[in-house]
Amino acid sequence: MRGSLVLKNILSNPAALKELSWEAYQQPGRKGVEIYRFYDTQDTGTSGPSAALVRYGAGAQVQRHIHPGYELIFVLEGELVNDSGCHGPGTLEVCPPGSSHALSSPNGCTFIVVWEQPVRLAEENSASRQSTSHGLDMS
């Protein structure tokens, strides 16, 4: 991490999220996604953890991916849809190692995500899996 990071009032004042320096999250299997990185594999090593705020625009989609380590998702605003349902503000989901899911948000959402290890895209009809280096690549 590049120094201490303090984000105030992100639960009580969602407008505070709009003031962050979001960047396009251009990774394979992602459409309509932005990211605000807390720390990533540049800080923790190629197999290390990563964490970020992730924002899905209306209609955003992320293709199925596999988690070799734990993933924690905490929804701040909007609705995040995955294999386990539709999750609104205040929802915490913990995905265990070996789990997989695809994600979407019909109307947009913002969430905090912590990845214990970089995730892999799940390739349909193929035994090979593409590894992403998690400069915060998947959620």
**pLDDT tens-digit map of 29-48:** 788 999 999 988 888 888 88
Report the distance separating Cα 7 and Cα 9, nearest Å. 7
Residue 11 lies in a domain: no
Residue 112 lies in a domain: yes
Report the distance separating Cα 128 and Cα 25, nearest Å. 24
Least confident segment among 42-46, 49-53, 70-74, 88-92: 42-46
> Three-class SS of residue 81?
strand
Strands 71-78 and 80-82: unpaired
Domain that holds residue 41: 27-121
Residue 20 lies in a domain: no
Between these two residues, 60 and 42, which has the higher pLDDT value?
Answer: 60
The pLDDT, as a whole number, for residue 1 is: 54
Residue 64 lies in a domain: yes
Task: Quote the number of domains for the chain.
Answer: 1
CATH number at residue 49: 2.60.120.10
98-115 average pLDDT score: 94
pLDDT tens-digit readout, 63-84:
998 999 999 999 999 999 999 9
Residue 135 lies in a domain: no
Residue 80 lies in a domain: yes
**86, containing H or E segment:** strand 85-87
Residue 19 lies in a domain: no
Q: State the CB neighbour count (10 A cutoff) for residue 29.
A: 20
Residue 133 lies in a domain: no
The reported pTM is 0.83
